[in-house]
Amino acid sequence: MDNKQERIKTIAYNLLSLLIVGLLWTLLSNWQQSPYFPPPSSIWEAFVKLNAKGDIEGILLWQHIWASLLRIFSGFAAACALGIPLGLAMGLWPKLYNRTRSILEPIRFIPPIAWIPMAIVFLVGFSRYVFLIWLGAFFPIFITTLLSVTRVNPVHVNVAKVFGAKRSYIIRKIVVPSVLPDIATGMRVGLGVAWMCIVAAEMIGGEMVGIGRLILKYAELMRMSEIIVGMLVIGIIGFIMNELFILVERRMFRWRSEISID
């Protein structure tokens, strides 16, 4: 019962927060009377219009959303497919990381947007989106996986060794289960960064569909209502995906205790 009441309170407080922000936004917009600070009513009208009639080229909002989701998931999946195994390998064999860090670490600090000229020259079409989104999502996943291996409890490993467990058994039964929660956290961070990269990716993709492209179209026209619709769509979809990720994570890792000072 206590958990149910807490969930109800959490939902109520979040709705109240949204209401307060909406009221403040409306008051500031009415006070400013600026076309560059539209009220929520204008943003809602732009949202309805984008759904019913589409943008300036007739592309509907759901088409933009679908295109961006496909690109996000493709780049994110590629980042997971490479980042998790590579992080595990370099965590289990530290010498491999130490002998290649002079290559990996400098690349990690280069922002994805700096790779745009190379992506334009060497890639075309869908691969451009996937490459830039992969760059953004890869390193959070890789670094989290790498560091999580080093934090595996050595007592568990040593006990297994005392009983004659082979290296493959220790990796499968001790290391991998121990690092899975941290890998899930890295995936959540990587997914957030992937959404941050979508505007840069769609800026160079050459196609006129996608949430990032929608924002850029109306940025050129200084149509703030439509721009804010695109921004809110990214935020809301990202929020939903994050909440689903947390729900799955809690169900999978119920054994992991949570620290609270309440």
* 203-262 pLDDT, tens digit each: 776 788 989 889 988 988 888 999 999 999 999 998 998 888 888 888 877 766 554 444
Least confident of 81-90, 131-140, 161-170, 212-221: 161-170
Crossing angle between the packed helical segments 2-32 and 40-52, to the nearest 10 degrees:
100
What confidence score (pLDDT) does residue 72 get?
93
What confidence score (pLDDT) does residue 258 get?
53
The count of domains in the chain is: 1
Tokens representing residue 46 in the block:
């732009």
* 12-37 pLDDT, tens digit each: 888 899 899 989 988 988 887 777 88
Determine, yes or no, domain membership for 214.
yes
Determine, yes or no, domain membership for 15.
no
Determine, yes or no, domain membership for 167.
yes
C-alpha to C-alpha distance for 205 and 221, rounded to whole angstroms: 20
Determine, yes or no, domain membership for 37.
no
What confidence score (pLDDT) does residue 259 get?
44
C-alpha closest to that of 182 among 92, 77, 253: 253
* 42-80 pLDDT, tens digit each: 999 999 999 999 898 889 999 999 999 999 999 999 999
How crowded is the C-beta side of 239, counted as CA atoms within 13 Å? Answer: 7
Token pair 């721009």 in the structure block, residue: 227
Determine, yes or no, domain membership for 242.
yes
Cα end-to-end span (Å), the chain: 17
* 142-189 pLDDT, tens digit each: 999 999 988 888 888 888 888 787 888 888 888 888 888 889 989 999
Tokens representing residue 92 in the block:
């289990």
Q: Is the pTM of this model over 0.75?
A: yes
What confidence score (pLDDT) does residue 46 get?
92
Determine, yes or no, domain membership for 150.
yes
Residue 218 belongs to domain with CATH number: 1.10.3720.10
What confidence score (pLDDT) does residue 119 get?
86
Which range of residues forms the domain containing residue 220?
Answer: 53-252
Determine, yes or no, domain membership for 17.
no
What confidence score (pLDDT) does residue 32 get?
78
Determine, yes or no, domain membership for 101.
yes
CA–CA distance from 2 to each of 6, 9, 15, 178 (Å)?
A: 6, 10, 20, 30
